[in-house]
């Protein structure tokens, strides 16, 4: 699949495309290749795309949103018992008014982070391997754990169906990433954006940032609030499309593709008059998989920019330095 690595934005490059997975998932001839071409354009020029026909049951998505709301409705002292740890698991309280960084004030949200639900006797847990610990579960919300695990399982299965499309988009064999994503790292962030009638200057529900992930799946909710920055520097609102997922690339995808695919800055604010909840699902390859410049993303004219790295190395460095760091253009990179 041919590609201009330094694509010039075109008039339609501010539109977030919608990719229908149904023909591909049903095995329709040529559907994978067609989607691969559209995915390549989306990730080289916009960094975001919608998917429909994905097969994740809407009642399960609705149940996950309901559990996010139920968790955050608890008293603060109960949530603080599950304070986020060095594995990036647990509760992160809202820190509004506690200071600023480079002129941007702390995010006006609270969040609960979960990863793969490993048992206490898993070898990585016993070895205290970072980012491979046990989750911190609330003990007084019956059914919470079961619903969240079912939701994560459904999204992991969807990701494994998406990964071949990324390979095709990069002119690689469809199975190129299969081994790398045999047991992918993932993080579910259950976020509550309280309604704030007046936000201060440079204050956001979540400040402009790019994700660390290979890809992020964002289920669409009833309360919009997400905006993304186009390549020409304009901010546009992402529509909320019922039954769709909004998908974007992150910094690990950008590095792995030698800056060919974008990690597009985005932000969120809640001006709806209601409480807003979001459940982004951040996905990466296996924790120790070596990521180095993909063969179709380098040439004599475009040498590899980044050294070989793994998820554990990358995330460990970011978490040790800060929960959010600035990229070259001053936009935060949020570590998930």
How long a stretch of residues is the chain? 336
Q: Is residue 305 part of a domain?
A: yes
pLDDT at 101: 44
Q: Domain for residue 232, yes or no?
A: yes
Minimum mean pLDDT among 69-73, 207-211, 222-226: which range?
222-226
Q: Is 223 contained in some domain?
A: yes
Q: What is the pTM of this model?
A: 0.91
What contacts 277, CB < 8 A, 6 or more positions away?
Answer: 65, 68, 69, 72, 190, 191, 192, 193, 221, 223
* Residue 59 included in any domain: yes
32: nearest Cα among 144, 126, 173:
173
| Domain span at 175 | 17-334
Q: Does a structural domain hold residue 4?
A: no
Q: Is residue 309 assigned to a domain?
A: yes
Q: What is the pLDDT of residue 52?
A: 98
Question: Number of structural domains, the chain?
Answer: 1
How far, in Å, CA of 60 to CA of 70, rounded? 15
**In this structure, what CATH number is given to the domain that contains residue 133?**
2.60.120.330
Q: Is residue 48 domain-resident?
A: yes
In a domain, residue 11? The reply is no
At 120-142, the pLDDT tens digits run 999 999 999 999 999 999 999 99
């Amino acid at each position: 699949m041919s590609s201009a690595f330094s694509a010039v934005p075109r008039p339609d490059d501010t539109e977030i495309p919608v990719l229908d997975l149904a023909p591909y998932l049903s095995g329709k001839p040529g559907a994978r290749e067609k989607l691969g071409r559209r995915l390549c354009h989306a990730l080289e020029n916009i960094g975001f795309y919608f998917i429909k026909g994905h097969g994740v049951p809407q009642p399960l998505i609705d149940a996950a949103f309901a559990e996010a709301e139920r968790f955050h409705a608890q008293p603060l002292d109960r949530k603080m018992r599950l304070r986020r740890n060095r594995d990036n698991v647990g509760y992160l309280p809202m820190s509004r008014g506690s200071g600023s960084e480079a002129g941007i004030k702390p995010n006006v949200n609270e969040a609960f982070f979960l990863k793969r639900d490993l048992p206490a006797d898993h070898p990585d847990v016993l070895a205290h391997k970072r980012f491979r610990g046990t989750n911190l579960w609330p003990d007084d919300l019956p059914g919470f754990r079961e619903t969240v695990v079912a939701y994560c399982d459904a999204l992991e299965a969807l990701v494994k169906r998406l990964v071949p499309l990324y390979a095709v988009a990069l002119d690689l064999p469809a199975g190129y990433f299969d081994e790398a994503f045999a047991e992918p790292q993932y993080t579910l962030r259950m976020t509550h954006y309280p309604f704030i009638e007046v936000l201060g200057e440079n204050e956001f529900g979540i400040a402009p940032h790019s994700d660390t992930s290979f890809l992020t799946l964002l289920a669409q909710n009833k309360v919009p609030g997400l905006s993304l920055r186009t390549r020409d520097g304009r901010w546009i609102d992402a529509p909320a499309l019922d039954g769709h997922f909004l998908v974007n690339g992150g910094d690990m995808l950008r590095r792995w593709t030698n800056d060919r695919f974008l990690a597009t800055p985005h932000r969120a604010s809640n001006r709806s008059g209601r409480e807003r909840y979001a459940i982004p699902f951040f996905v990466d390859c296996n924790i120790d998989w070596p990521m180095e410049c993909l063969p179709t993303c380098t040439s004599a004219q475009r040498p590899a920019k980044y050294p070989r790295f793994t998820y554990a190395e990358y995330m460990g460095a970011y978490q040790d330095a800060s929960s959010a760091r600035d990229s070259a253009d001053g936009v935060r990179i949020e570590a998930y």
